Every structure is written in C-alpha cells, then in structure tokens.
Structure 1
Amino acid sequence: MRTVIFDLDGTLADTSGDLIAAANTCFRGLGLGDLLDPAADAATALRGGRAMLNLGFSRIEGFGEADVDAQYPILLAAYATDIDTHTVLYPGAMEAVEKLKTDGYAVGIATNKPEGLAETLMQSLGVRDAFASLIGADTLPVRKPDPEHHFEAVRRAGGDPKRSLLVGDTATDRNTSRNAGVPSVLVTFGPGRDDVLKLDPEATIDSFAELPDVVARLIG
C-alpha cells in the first residue's frame, strides 16, 4: 500500500512556542531568565530540546554540554506538563491527511519527539486516530535519520516501504528520505523556509493544499 509518513514538529504542527517555554523554564530555574525568544528562535525549537538548551547556554558564560545533559530531563518534564498551550496544527494539515486517505494512501507519523510526548500531543490536538502509526525517538533503538525509523512507521501503517515518501521540514527529514531511498516533500511555511529550500528535496510545498497532487506525482 502507498504510504505517506509525516514528521510532527514543524510539519504537521507548530510546536515551537511550547518547546521554547519549556526550555525557558530550565533557564529560569538556574536564575538566568528567559534566554530564548519564541519568534526569533522558533527554528531552533523545531530541532529539539538539546538544540534549544545549547543555544540558550551559548548566550551565557560558564555553561556547556554537562548543563545540557542535566537540564534535558527537566525540559521534558516541563514540556509534558504544558504541551499544548501555544501549539497549533498548520492550516490545511488534517484536510490533506484525510484527502490522502480517501485517495487510498496509508498515513503515519515518524518523529524524533519521544513517543509518549508525541502520543499525548496528538491526543490533545484530537487527531491521533487519523494516523495508522506513530514512531517516536525512543520507539526503536534508532531514530531519524536512520531509515529504519521511516520503514517501521510505514510497516505499522500497513504500507510498503518501497512505495512511500516522507513529509518533513528539516535536514534530518531530508537525510532520512535519502537513506531510505524514498522521496521527500519538505514544507516551506515553517520558520526554516530558507534552509528548507537549500536541501534539494524531490518537492516542496507552500501549503498543505498542494500535498495530495505532489504525492500522486511522486509515488502514484
């Protein structure tokens, strides 16, 4: 079965506001104040918790990788407590998902967010049941850009890895698709638009309304 696998953060949903809030909780706990800006640092937020902590600590003397390691579980706990205050699905995301399903595609999620947090967020947004699979960073011994992360998401959705593609927004997603030997479609409406355009994916989309036709062109 033809299958479309979606990244979550920065692809299906803008989670940057809640991620930055969780990182700033860590910084405030150390007496450093809010080191990250929700608008200016949104692209870093979508690269994950450690990226945010590294960026924040880079702005203060005397902090390094050991502090990132110490604060990371605190960030995850803060995020789990307040996971959906600012998060929103991108316009047209679920309409595109439902159109793909109507057209005969299986759909799933492969994210480097921990599985439990991804499940909680998708349930909170009321859309978990729309996806046949959800693979998180800790679901398997490997994570993106390892191709097995994508392949397992496809298999759990009931699909054929050879007839699949990945919809994402970062170099990690692009590298995953290359490693898997499948096409990638990268979204350009997130905070990392300029970086996305440099990654040379098989296709980009400026809105989810374009996705069904692009998918049909790439995998039939």
Structure 2
Amino acid sequence: MAGTVVFDLDGTLADTSGDLIAAANACFHARGLGPLLDPDLDALIAFHGGRAMLRAGYARLPADALMPPGAEEEDYPRLLNYYGESIAVHTRLYPGAEAALDRLAEAGHSLAVCTNKPSALAEVLLRELGVRDRFAAMIGADTLPVRKPDPRPYRAAVEGAGGRMAESFLVGDTETDRKTASAAGVRVALVAFGPEGEGLARLAPEAMLRHFDELPALAADWLGK
C-alpha cells in the first residue's frame, strides 16, 4: 500500500456549516431569541464547534437581556440532538472530494477520518453523504480519552487504516489540524476552499489545497505512486 491519507471532516471533506448553524439557531429559537447566527456570515464559527456557536450567539444579545446561568451547558446537548435529527439537510461534500477519494484508492492509498465531531454523528454523516465505505478507519472526538490536537487520535486513524505514521499525512482546515500534524510529526495540507480560505496560509502548512483535484498529485509526491 502506497500510504495513508487522513481527513478532517467538517470544513475539509464537507461543508457542514449550514446544518450546524441551524442546530444552534434551533436552541436560540427554543428560548424565544430568534436566529442569532447567519448561515453564511458565521460559517467559520460553525467549524469551531457547538459551544463556540452558542457563545457567539449569546454574545449578540442586548446588554439588558437576561440569560439563565449555565445556558451554554444546558443548550449544548440540545444542539447535538437538533443536529443529529437534521444532519445532512444542507451539508454537501466539497467539489471534487468524491472523485479525489476514488483516485487515491485507485493509487493504493488507504483513507481515514480523524475528526473532533462526536463519533456517532460523524458515522451518521459519512453514511448520509454516501462515503463511509471509502474510509478504513474513523476516529471521532470521543473515540479516545483525548482529541485533536493531541496526536493520538491521528495515530489511531493511521493504524486503524493499516498504515504507518511515516507514510501518512493529514488534510484539514483549521489551526487544530496544523497543530495535530506538528504533534504527530507528519505533513499537513490545509484546504483553501473553506470559510477562511487563503488565510490558512498563515499557519505555514506544507501545502495548500485550492481544489480536491490537486490532492491525488500531492499524495503521489508525498507518499509515492
């Protein structure tokens, strides 16, 4: 086998921001607050997780608005429930993602997912998107006692796919992915087609992907074949 390519999920393989923000707004609606987040303007916030979305929404309330203590902790499980019920309404794979997975597999590379999304939700989403069978391993936020940027989830993804760390790299979209790769001692390609776009170049990744069409050639260069 030529090597192992490990993917982050949200913001890397798929644009999940619309469904994530809809779940957060459902929490706000339940409190009579209306939609505090915008699915387009706040897409980047969505990729920082459920609690980040809740905090961002609450921060937009008028100064005289009274929120019950612990609202974030109360609403977080509700957000996950809303999200689980409508996980793939707006979510789509990024252009070229599925074709790139096919070409990587044809070249003999094994594929894995390493995400900070709860594993049950990640499994459901990958199945809904029709690509779960492309990945030999899937490591979620709660698969291990630690999550990215700790290198252990990445290592578990590589080993679960039957690969070797020295013959692997990560494809991601955040500073967390950059730090994960550094901690694991592997290279990272960050995508330029997510909400932050070319701004991710500030993290000095070994490569920037501007379209998934570029990934098979990068894998051939880094992993051979």
TM-score w.r.t. structure 1 length?
0.97
CA-atom RMSD, angstroms? Answer: 1.3
Tell me the distance in 1 between the aligned counterparts of 2:198 and 2:189: 15
Q: Percent identity?
A: 54
Matches within 5 A, 1:29-108: 29-60=30-61, 61=63, 62-63=66-67, 66-108=70-112
**Which string of whole-angstrom CA distances, capped at 9 and with x for unpartnered residues, describes residues 46-90 of structure 1?**
111111111111111444982211110000000000111000001
2:132 counterpart of 1:128: yes
Give 1:196's aligned residue: 200
2:209 to 188, 205, 208: 205
The 8 Å contact of residues 101 and 107 in structure 1, kept in 2 or not, is answered as yes
SS in structure 2 opposite 1:11? coil
Shift in CA distance, 64/132, structure 1 to aligned 2, threshold 3 Å: farther
SS in structure 1 opposite 2:25? helix
2:166 to 162, 166, 171: 162
The 8 Å contact of residues 4 and 166 in structure 1, kept in 2 or not, is answered as yes
Q: Please say which structure displays the higher CA radius of gyration.
A: 2
Displacement of 1:3: 0.5
Tell me the distance in 2 between the aligned counterparts of 1:80 and 1:106: 28
Displacement of 1:218: 2.4
Give 1:180's aligned residue: 184
Aligned length, in residue pairs: 220
SS in structure 2 opposite 1:167? strand
**Which string of whole-angstrom CA distances, capped at 9 and with x for unpartnered residues, describes residues 89-109 of structure 1?**
011101111111111111000
The 8 Å contact of residues 6 and 167 in structure 1, kept in 2 or not, is answered as yes
Shift in CA distance, 170/103, structure 1 to aligned 2, threshold 3 Å: same
2:142 counterpart of 1:138: yes
SS in structure 1 opposite 2:126? helix
Query: Any stretches of 5+ residues in structure 2 without a counterpart?
Result: none
Query: Any stretches of 5+ residues in structure 1 without a counterpart?
Result: none
